[in-house]
Amino acid sequence: MELKQIYTQGLAQLSYLIGGKTSCIVVDPARDVAQYLQMAGALGLPIKAIIETHLHADFISGHMELARLTGATIYISEKAKAAYPHYAVKDREELRIDKFLFKMLDTPGHTPEGSVFIVSDLERGPAPVLVFSGDTLLVGDAGRPDLFPDIKKELASSLYHSLRRIEEIGDYVEVYPAHGAGSLCGKKLSAKLSSTIGTERLYNGPLTSHPEQQFIDTLLFGMPEVPDHFSRCSEANKLGPAFTGDMPKPKPYEPTAFSKLVEQGYLVVDTRDQLPFGAAHIPGAYGLSLKGNFATFSGWVLPPDKPLLLVVESKNDLEAALKGLHSVGLDNVAGYLAGGMPDWAAAGLYTARLESISVEELRALHDKRELLLIDTRLKSEYEQMYIEGSLHCAAPDVRSRYREWENSGKTLAFICNTGNRSLLGASLMLRFGRRGQKVYNVIGGTTAWEGLGYPLIREGV
């Protein structure tokens, strides 16, 4: 068996390619399918099967595109009711693909159609060697059951019983999940990207939590925020995403033409880092640095029905931005600013600024109560430790909460752990808030604050 694990940066998503005797199988493919074609090519084997463990919520899957390019069959649970050509797998059904035996178990909970695939390498013997656990069982955690708020308790109950089914798998069987630490598909994911059933039985809280009501209450408590694009991606993966190969390529626009499109309602996505963005950016631009969690936060805050214009610093940045946007279903990218902000400035067009301050400056102003400090990290991060007197608002939520602060009469300072999410929060405040509102981005963030030994309120202390 040739097993390759592929990690998608920014989404913390895991996909897999397995090489058999005469063909390859891909599990939970990302939308960028070229990587699987290259890997299979290196093995000298065609891709004949694509397995989906569930309808993914946080990214657009590459299952249909890969099937189109290779002729491979897509296998997914019959409960998904997928609208594209596929093989609908039934609970406990066994599939012989190449030299492997795949046994599917229905494991609803994270999603109603969630499943896991237990794999045996028949050249070695009939005993299972690994399980592709999707988002049912993650390393250190289980998939969140609250993506469908109206039935979250029912799904949590289903997940409890699904995990009992997984408990029946042998301790020696290796676990390969669909996500790792950094994903919002779970609450406390481990940084490890694989495990074994035995290890998870010892250390995975949800897997060992009893009784059922305690499991439900514990699992649903303190769940991270649900990004806007989760429901959109899930539906697209059910109906069948558009093919990236059919999309028109974004056009380069000179500054004047770019400016006219902005006036017509096109949205500007500035992918530069916090310092160049702060120095000069196009008014109303979304500050979504490629150095941050670009794909997730783009999917979270950018409306999918609006055409997008990019500000990038290089060709590589353009390619990275397109890959990130496409991965969360933001396909309407009209163009990019030719020559970047240097050419915009040379054209003499209006620019906006976002002042950056250090944590030393922040402390002095905060101690004097001369500003409102808004922490844009996730709620779970904030609750672990925060600066006394700060307010919590996850960066994307500035879109709905900006009115709470725009008439405060105080300067607003946005902070996160390094400065990327606070850049987004500050840029949203500049876009939606009152004109003339004074806004700072705190560079270095809570990491620098803690590094200087400044006081923090810590959970349980």
For residues 311 and 291, what is the distance between their CA atoms, to the nearest angstrom? 14
Residue with tokens 């059904």: 93
Question: CA-CA distance, 267 to 97, in Å (whole number)?
Answer: 46
Residue 360 amino acid letter:
E
Four-residue CA torsion sign, 146, 149, 152, 155:
negative
* pLDDT reported for residue 461: 55
CATH 3.60.15.10 domain extents, the chain: 2-239
Query: Can you say whether residue 31 is alpha, beta or left, with left for phi > 0 and alpha for psi between -120 and 50 degrees?
Result: alpha
Name the region of 419 (left: φ>0; alpha: ψ -120 to 50; beta: rest): left
pLDDT averaged over every residue in the chain: 95
pLDDT of residue 33: 97
pTM assigned to the model: 0.94
Paired tokens of 398:
């500035």
> What pLDDT score was predicted for residue 209?
77
pLDDT for res 208: 85
Question: What architecture (CATH level 2) is domain 2-239?
Answer: 4-Layer Sandwich (3.60)
Give start-end residues of each CATH 3.40.250.10 domain in the chain: 247-346, 355-458
Check residue 409 and give its pLDDT: 86
The stretches in the chain having pLDDT less than 70 are 460-461
DSSP secondary structure letters along 162-230: HHHHHHTS-TTSEEEESB-TT-TTSSS--S-S-EEHHHHHHH-HHHH--SHHHHHHHHHTTPPP--THH
| Architecture category of domain 247-346 in CATH | 3-Layer(aba) Sandwich (3.40)
Question: In this predicted structure, what is the pLDDT of residue 112?
Answer: 96
At 375, which amino acid appears?
D
CATH among 1.40.20.10, 3.40.250.10, 3.30.70.330, 3.40.50.880 for 355-458:
3.40.250.10
Residue 460's pLDDT is 62
- What are the CA-CA distances from residue 32 to residues 2, 62, 244, 334 (Å)? 21, 7, 9, 20
Q: CA 35, CA 41: separation in Å to the nearest integer?
A: 10
